[in-house]
C-alpha cells in the first residue's frame, strides 16, 4: 500500500479561514441516523453538513475540512449499484471515519473483503476493546454498543489494525496503518451506545485535530458578510410570518443590511387568532423594521376552494405567496430606482431534507414545504436562505445571539401553509373559525400548566370527520379535534409529549364546552418517525 499522501491540512492551510468554519462532512449512504451524526458533530463544536455520497471531490475539498464521516446505510457493498464515493476521498488529507456501511465501504475501497455476517447483529452487543488509544481512548474495555448490520468486514490483511471485537464480529472497530481511515461496525451516534459520544469526540479532537471553535456568533458574522456580498446596495424582501425562523432571518438581515431590508407579512386567512396584530406590534413598533402588510385572505381561500390533497394545498399556497411577494416588490420598486430581486426565507435543514431537495437527489420526498419545492420553477427572485443549514434549536441560539426576546425565540413553530395543513380535507372559513378557537384554548391551557417551554410544538387539528355525542340530553353529530404535542431537539425526530391527564382533561372540557361545533377531542400519541409532526 502506498503511504498516505499528506496534503495541506487545516493546521497548515493559509486559505482555511477563507473557506469558512472548520467543517466535518457526513457522506450519507441512506442511514436513518445521518442527521443525528451531524448533530453530534455540531454539539462537539464543529460545523457539519450532510452531503450526497457522489458529491464531486472538488466540492468536498472546497470546504475548510477537518474530517469526513461515512454514514451507515441499508445497502450491501457487494450489491451492484450500491452507493459509492470517490476513491480520491483518501487523498484529501483529512481523517475519515466509517460507520457500519461506511466502515465496510472504506475497508473494501482499501483492499478488504466484505461478506454476509455469520450471525447478524441487531440491537445491543458487548464490545471488547483491544487498543484503547486514539479512537477508543478513555472508553471501558468492555462496553455496550448498538449494532444494526447484516454484512461485516471479513478480511483486512496487514494494512489494518483491529481495535475492538464483539462475540460475532471479529472486526468491530479497525484503523488503517498508513491512511487515517477508521471504521466501526456499530453506531456511536445513538444513545444506545453509552460511550459513543466519547468515541466521536476522540475522532474529532484527537484524530482530526479539531479546534472546537465553531460558535453561533461566528455563524452570525459569517452570514452577515455573505449577505452583504450577495446583496450589495440592493434591497431584500423578507417574507415574515412572526414565527421563530422568519423572525430570526429578519433580525439577521436587519443586522447585515439595515434599511435595505423590507419585510412583508402576508395575511393569508390561515393564521392563528390575533396573529396579524401580534406581528405588526412586534416588528413595526418594537424592532422598527420596514414592515408591509398584505391582506390576501380572499385570494388564498379562493385558491384552496375544494382542494383536499395536502401537497396540492402546499403548492397553491407557495404560488400565491410568491405572487404576493412579486406584487409587493413591484410596488416598493415604484418608489425606488432599483428593482427588488432578492427574497429571504426562513428555510431550515429539516425542511430541505424532508422536501427531498437537500444533500442528495435520492432523499425521500416526505412532504413539500411551501418554501422548498412548493415554489414555482420561474421564481423571479434570487433566494437568500441563511438558515438553510441549521436545525431548529440552532436557530433559537442564533436568535439569542441576535438579541431577540425570549418570548419570540421560544415560540412554538407554526407551519408556512398555516392552518391549511391543520384543517384536514376541504378548507372553509367556518372550519377555520372552529380551529382557531380550539387552538387558542389549547395554548392557554398549556401555558397555564407551565408546559409551553417543556414542549416543542403543540397544536390542534380539525379532522374531516364527525362523531355522535350527547349534549343537554340531545344527540349531536359534530366535529372531532385532535391535539398534537411533541418533544424534540431538531424536529427531524420527535416523541409525543406526556401531558398530564388532568391537563388533557381540562383542554378537552374547555374545547367541547366553549367551541361550538366540536363534541370530541382525541390525543395523538404518534412519534416521528413513522408519523410527521404536522398531520399534512
> pLDDT by residue (tens digit) across 245-257?
889 999 999 999 9
Most confident segment among 28-42, 466-480, 509-523: 509-523
**DSSP-derived 3-state class of residue 223:** helix
Contact call for residues 283 and 238 (beta carbons, < 8 A): no
Radius of gyration of the chain (CA): 26
Name the pLDDT band for 117 (thresholds 50, 70, 90).
Answer: low
Mean pLDDT value across residues 202-225: 89
How far apart CA 189 and CA 48 sit, in angstroms, is 14
- Strand locations in 268-351, DSSP E? 291-295, 342-344
Confidence of residue 367 (pLDDT cuts 50, 70, 90): very low
Of residues 69 and 475, more confidence is placed in: 69
Predicted structure pTM score: 0.68
Work out the pLDDT band at 44, boundaries 50, 70, 90. confident
What are residue 300's phi and psi, to 5 degrees? -65, -45
Give tens-digit pLDDT for 282-329: 887 767 788 899 999 999 999 999 999 999 999 999 899 888 888 888
Of residues 445 and 290, the one with the higher pLDDT is: 445
Specify the pLDDT at position 447: 96
Q: Which residues are known to be catalytic? A: 100, 187, 189
What is each CA distance from 490 to 120, 312, 390, in whole angstroms?
31, 26, 9
Give yes or no for residue 375 having a pLDDT over 60.
no
Reading phi first (left if > 0) and then psi (alpha if -120 to 50, else beta), residue 379 is in alpha
311: which 3 cell numbers? Answer: 401537497
Can you tell me the mean pLDDT for 409-417?
A: 88
Residue 506 burial (CB < 10 Å; 0-12/13-18/19+)? Answer: middle
Residue 6 has pLDDT above 80, yes or no: no
* 26 alpha carbon, distance to own chain's centre: 15
Amino acid at each position: 500500500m502506498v503511504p498516505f499522501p499528506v496534503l495541506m491540512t487545516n493546521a497548515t492551510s493559509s486559505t482555511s479561514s477563507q473557506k469558512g468554519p472548520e467543517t466535518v462532512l457526513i457522506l450519507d449512504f441512506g442511514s436513518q441516523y445521518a442527521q443525528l451524526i451531524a448533530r453530534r458533530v455540531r454539539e462537539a463544536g464543529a460545523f457539519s453538513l450532510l452531503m450526497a455520497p457522489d458529491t464531486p471531490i472538488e466540492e468536498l475539498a472546497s470546504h475548510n475540512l477537518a474530517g469526513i464521516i461515512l454514514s451507515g446505510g441499508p445497502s450491501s457493498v457487494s450489491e451492484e449499484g450500491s452507493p459509492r464515493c470517490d476513491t480520491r476521498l483518501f487523498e484529501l488529507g483529512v481523517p475519515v471515519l466509517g460507520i457500519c456501511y461506511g466502515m465496510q465501504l472504506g475497508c473494501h475501497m482499501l483492499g478488504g473483503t466484505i461478506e454476509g455476517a455469520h450471525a447478524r447483529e441487531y440491537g445491543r452487543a458487548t464490545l471488547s476493546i483491544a487498543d484503547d488509544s486514539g479512537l477508543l481512548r478513555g472508553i471501558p474495555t468492555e462496553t455496550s454498543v448498538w449494532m444494526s448490520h447484516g454484512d461485516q468486514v471479513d478480511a483486512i490483511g496487514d494494512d489494518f489494525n483491529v481495535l475492538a471485537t464483539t462475540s460475532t464480529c471479529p472486526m468491530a472497530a479497525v484503523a488503517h496503518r498508513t491512511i487515517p481511515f477508521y471504521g466501526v461496525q456499530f453506531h456511536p451516534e445513538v444513545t444506545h451506545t453509552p460511550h459513543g459520544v466519547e468515541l466521536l469526540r476522540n475522532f474529532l479532537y484527537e484524530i482530526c485535530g479539531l479546534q472546537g471553535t465553531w460558535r453561533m456568533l461566528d455563524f452570525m458574522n459569517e452570514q452577515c458578510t455573505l449577505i452583504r456580498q450577495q446583496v450589495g446596495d440592493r434591497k431584500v424582501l423578507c417574507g415574515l410570518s412572526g414565527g421563530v425562523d422568519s423572525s430570526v432571518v429578519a433580525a439577521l438581515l436587519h443586522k447585515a443590511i439595515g434599511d435595505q431590508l423590507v419585510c412583508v407579512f402576508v395575511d393569508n386567512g390561515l393564521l392563528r387568532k390575533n396573529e396579524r396584530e401580534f406581528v405588526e406590534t412586534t416588528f413595526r413598533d418594537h424592532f422598527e423594521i420596514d414592515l408591509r402588510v398584505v391582506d390576501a385572505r380572499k385570494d388564498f381561500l379562493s385558491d384552496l376552494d375544494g382542494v383536499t390533497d395536502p401537497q396540492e394545498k402546499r403548492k397553491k399556497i407557495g404560488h400565491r405567496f410568491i405572487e404576493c411577494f412579486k406584487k409587493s416588490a413591484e410596488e416598493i420598486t415604484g418608489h425606488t430606482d432599483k428593482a427588488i430581486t432578492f427574497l429571504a426565507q426562513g428555510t431550515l435543514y429539516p425542511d430541505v431534507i424532508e422536501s427531498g431537495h437537500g444533500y442528495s437527489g435520492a432523499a425521500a420526498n416526505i412532504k413539500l414545504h411551501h418554501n422548498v419545492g412548493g415554489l414555482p420553477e420561474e421564481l423571479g427572485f434570487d433566494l437568500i436562505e441563511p438558515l438553510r443549514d441549521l436545525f431548529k434549536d440552532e436557530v433559537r441560539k442564533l436568535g439569542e445571539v441576535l438579541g431577540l426576546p425570549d418570548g419570540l425565540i421560544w415560540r412554538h413553530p407554526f407551519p408556512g401553509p398555516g392552518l391549511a395543513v391543520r384543517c384536514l380535507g376541504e378548507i372553509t372559513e367556518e372550519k377555520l373559525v372552529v380551529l382557531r378557537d380550539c387552538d387558542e384554548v389549547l395554548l392557554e391551557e398549556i401555558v397555564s400548566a407551565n408546559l409551553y417551554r417543556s414542549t416543542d410544538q403543540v397544536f390542534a387539528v380539525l379532522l374531516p370527520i364527525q362523531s355522535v355525542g350527547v349534549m343537554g340530553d340531545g344527540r349531536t353529530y359534530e366535529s372531532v379535534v385532535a391535539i398534537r404535542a411533541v418533544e424534540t431537539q431538531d424536529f427531524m425526530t420527535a416523541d409525543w409529549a406526556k401531558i398530564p391527564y388532568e391537563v388533557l382533561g381540562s383542554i378537552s372540557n374547555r374545547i367541547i364546552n366553549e367551541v361550538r361545533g366540536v363534541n370530541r377531542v382525541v390525543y395523538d400519541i404518534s412519534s416521528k418517525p413513522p408519523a410527521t409532526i404536522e398531520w399534512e
